[in-house]
Structure 1
Amino acid sequence: MAGSMTIWFFVVLSISILLSWTNPRGETIKSFSLSPLYSSTQSASSSNEDISGLRYDFYHKTCPQAESIVRTHMARLYSDHNNVSAALLRLFFHDCFIEGCDASVLLDDSNGDKNHSIERQAIPNQTLRGFDKIDSIKEELEKACPGVVSCADIVSIATRDGIMLTGGPFYPVLTGRRDSIHSYFNEALSAIPRPDDNITQTLHLFDLRGFDERETVSLLGAHNIGKIGCEFIQKRLFNFKGTGQPDPTIAPDFLTEMRMRCQDSNRTTTRPSSSSMASLEMSESAVGMSYLQALSSSISSGAGFDTHYYQSLLSGRGLLFADQQLMANEKTARLVRAYASDDGSTFRMDFARAMMKMSGLNVLTGSQGQVRQNCSLPLVSS
């Protein structure tokens, strides 16, 4: 109990610092009260013991410049490729959703067992990007503090910093995670939410990890940044549920526009190649118009992370079936309407809370796991 209270002292302390922080949009970041944050995090199916080894500023003695190195490197990456934020956010979700935030999705083999499939090979993970970005951050940290900072912590910190670079909210990331030596192919194959899941399945998968409806709807708001490939919506546009027809819930003008972007991918019967795939990019200009843009377009810093995702759902213009399904449930639809009508402060606060909670899922700490020297490969036991 004492250890748990210590953690929450540092959480509250770090949150209080928000009063003096500003994000890249120049906004003063609002603090939020302890009670909702505490009760929200306590509602997780996993107990407090899961995050008892994490601390605020875990590396202050062993690698005091760790978070500064990550932040600086992320700023450079973002200036060259502003889609890096969305890529790392998706990488973070896929890692934490399967056996917790342990960097298992980064492994390029399974503890040296070449006969065992790895998470990266599971179908939901085959389109993940950003592995090389995590590797480049790790290389810098290894030069400064060899063998100290875990890959799991790098993913969590870099994701938070990437969100801020898009204009998203700051939230404190407790550190001290260690890296898994195992990869979980079967779990990744079956337990990661699919783009064509209905609302019942989506809520069920999030509930298994301790997230209620409000937290689920706020986390799905992460879809307001980044690009998706046509492969994720191909069936919805041309062969919804095997009918040979499009999803009847798609607005006709929106259907026409998406089909124009993805017409080439309809000609393939397997996963489209990168050369035959159009790219759909979401933008704040979606309100009342289209939010499809050409591949060469970009999301400007500070303009991507807002409530246009929820506003698009109100008009039936959600790209993914799973997104639009938020309007098929009374409680989640009410939350969508609330976020869409808000100035963005409620969504940002809820999203920050939910991300803090997700970053603490089933972490390895203390003597568990290891700190990899190479994020793709586990250390060889001596």
Structure 2
Amino acid sequence: MEHRNSFLLSFLLLLLPLLLNSASAQLKQNFYQNICPNVENYVRSAVEKKFNETFVTAPGTLRLFFHDCFVRGCDASVLLASSGNNAEKDSPLDQSLAGDGFDTVIKAKAAVDNDSKCKNKVSCADILALAARDVIVLTGGPSYTVELGRLDGRVSTNTSVHSNIPLPTFNLDKLISMFTAHGLSQTDLVALSGAHTIGSAHCARFAKRINGFSRTSSVDPTLNSTYAQQLQQECPKNVDPRVAINMDPNTPRIFDNTYYKNLQQGMGLFTSDQVLFTDSRTTKLVNLFASNVTAFQQAFITAITNLGRVGVKTGSQGEIRRDCSAVN
């Protein structure tokens, strides 16, 4: 029986890449060329307008894309609302997602549908993927061609979130395991983590690292001592749970490689950030990305393209929603 189970597991692991590849095979560049040729311009204009209203648009939209793809695949299921408050967005892990990210997609969808030729012909999942690329560019990050052709999913449950979203407390083994389960490599993991170069995080997400870390130390020893003191001042005990601080204390509004330079100095905000440098398996990648911004950008483009292929819906598995927050 043990041999049989081992064989079955090996078979499934071999089958996983084939399933991922077959699902993502429908994705292609210029998918809407003959359907809605101006789709990228419509989305970009809406995203730029929203970004000019509030910077939170950028990290909010990017994080929304990650959370969507990691739970049920890139199918816009994170956008679905539920009268019973049991959709993905109602999960405690998703309740911190910025409303500006959702609003960005809604406004981009409206801009696309304003063209009668495009109305109800572009999926919310594709609009989210395009918007994620656009906010990266708006914050100084690399541009890239987004593969399109996703369908929107019809299922969204809050119970599916916790087991699929990486937590700030994860060590490298847990991170690698979760990324591997989504068909993503170790390099993808380190590159995608670089998105923490913009945006903010609530104090509760890292409170234990600066207050009551262990019996022998109140502060996580992998934290830079000066940085730890700064965090303690910004996030004292019993702080208002709504308080959030920049994830990158140096260039929080620029999509650059400073995140990796911070890790080298013991200034990774989450355990899941700092472990990328302290664990020898990924130290070299952190050092490479810290010293070579082009290497980081190229790896990030590859990684987010791979992320965008996760769990793509085909045929009867999905639809093109008329309203991004509800199934048709």
- TM-score, normalisation: structure 2: 0.88
Identify the match of residue 87 of structure 2 among 110, 118, 128: 118
Structure 2 residue corresponding to 1:308, chosen from 255, 258, 277: 258
Shift, 1:367, TM fit = 3.9
Q: Where does structure 1 lack aligned partners over 5 or more consecutive residues?
A: 1-42, 286-297
2:33, 2:154 → 1: CA distance? 25
Task: Verify the 8 A CA contact 2:74 2:311 in the aligned structure 1.
Answer: yes
Question: How big is the shift at 1:278?
Answer: 4.1
Letter in 1 for 2:311: N
The equivalent of 1:370 in structure 2 is 319
- Does the Cα contact within 8 Å between 2:188 and 2:300 map onto a contact in 1? yes
Number of matched residues? 310
AA partner of residue 271 (structure 2):
F
Q: Equivalent of 1:187, from 156, 160, 165?
A: 160
CA offsets 1:141-164 (integer angstroms, 9 cap, x no match): 222122111110010000011111
Are 1:229 and 2:202 matched, yes or no? Answer: yes
Q: Which residue of 1 aligns with 2:183?
A: 210
Equivalent residues of 1:45, 1:210 under 8 A apart: no
Matches within 5 A, 1:1-382: 44=17, 46-109=19-82, 114-115=83-84, 117-129=86-98, 130-144=101-115, 145-240=118-213, 245-263=218-236, 266-267=237-238, 272-274=240-242, 277-284=243-250, 299=253, 304-342=254-292, 344-379=293-328
Deviation at 1:368, TM superposition (A): 2.9
Partners of 1:153 and 1:139 in 2: CA distance? 14
What CA distance in whole angstroms lies between the structure 1 residues aligned with 2:104 and 2:91? 20
- 1:175 partner amino acid: L
Q: Percent identity?
A: 35
Question: Shift of the alpha carbon at 1:75?
Answer: 1.4
> Given the superposition, is the C-alpha separation of residues 116 and 317 from structure 1 closer, same or farther in structure 2, using an over 3 Å criterion?
closer
Q: Which amino acid aligns with 2:93?
A: P
> TM-score normalized by structure 1?
0.76
Query: C-alpha separation between the residues in 2 aligned to 1:369 and 1:227?
Result: 33
User: For 2:201, what is the secondary structure of its paired residue?
Assistant: strand
- Provide Cα deviations, 1:235-275, integer angstroms capped at 9, x if missing partner: 21113268782212222211111111111xx216xxx542x
Quote the Cα distance in structure 1 between the aligned partners of 2:288 and 2:188.
Answer: 13
